[in-house]
Structure 1
């Protein structure tokens, strides 16, 4: 396994992120640390929304729009440029990695969608997009499915919530992931 790709045991679903960073380099696999934790939680929510059975990291392919590691201390940037991503060799690489995906490609962020849209895939899977599954992307979701504001742990505690900040945070993440799984289900239906 490499820090930019993990080939799943099934060829139905792939998740494409933007690029591996420091956490992925250190872990030696894609979608590490908070993003990886959120991905695993998201897969259980998505399993409930879709008819693919129990989705796990081992079953899905996880790759990146750009296969090079990017983070500030190493490369002076945290993302590849659009020109990097749309480069011929990069698109050929990504097309090859996704060539057997039959059903669904989930693009996590704009760079992932840009890259996947450049690929010429013979299998024609459904392509959907969502926010990046890192905490920064998830925390930009401010309301739950019922339109109720998702309060930060700090604010909830200030308003009298007695639960620990960690428990509130986990619940908030679950609410946000539920929104994303509904979003994907709705995109698939279109």
Structure 2
């Protein structure tokens, strides 16, 4: 990493992500998403990266889920990518914004039909009496939308983490790891430095 001259953290992320997609056996786009409620109580779970670029890192979910409720109260989040095959991590911290409806519609339309129906059937993060109850709701949604397109549910959408910092961590022998930090400047651009391991 030290010999990588990239001054743009998104270009460096693109390079690392491409390597992860070639080497990770499962879900290189998996990322831990940490949120907190308005009282500061944290929560973390794995989600899938569905888009990234200079505007940020995008994922989709049920907005009534636990994470959706926390993001409504406190629109800040942290992400962690861990690519074990490469012995690398990328940390992202930033503000969270909603993805425009047209963008969410386009992504929802690209999902498999059963995934679309599942978004309607699931009351994500709510108590569930039995697996059979969920599957019954799924069958109801199949019947409801039989023969037609499945529209995006009004409670389902996308979020974009707009980074304030991005850290690239590379494993080195004897725990002499390499950490490269990019901090967003208020007027645009990035300040770059190293951190002790």
TM-score by length of 1: 0.27
Instruction: With the length of structure 2 as denominator, give the TM-score of the two structures.
Output: 0.27
Task: Return the structure number with greater strand share.
Answer: 2
Higher helix share: 1
Rg bigger for which structure?
2
